[in-house]
Structure 1
């Protein structure tokens, strides 16, 4: 259950990052993918 909770929190962070990416340039998208390689 704790593992599921951690996964859910991680998914929320990924979603927030994706939303932030949508508001930035493609160059920064590449930077984020390098810094945060979430599959």
Structure 2
């Protein structure tokens, strides 16, 4: 697991805990073409 994965995982955890900022960050990264971020965006 590289550093990007760790950051994405932490954002996912924060999003799960109710952080709208973390959720929006994941969604924005996914929309910008970061396919690795897309798998962390909650469904």
TM-score normalised by the chain length of structure 1: 0.52
Counterpart-to-counterpart distance in 1, 2:9 and 2:3: 10
The structure with more radius of gyration: 1
Which residue is 1:18 aligned to?
A: 12
Q: How many Å apart are 1:9 and its aligned residue?
A: 0.2
> After the TM superposition, which segments of 4 or more aligned residues of structure 1 sit over 4 Å from their partners?
none
- Structure 1 residues not aligned, in runs of 5+: 1-6
- Structure 2 residues not aligned, in runs of 5+: 31-36, 39-43
TM-score normalised by the chain length of structure 2: 0.48
Paired residues in the alignment total 29
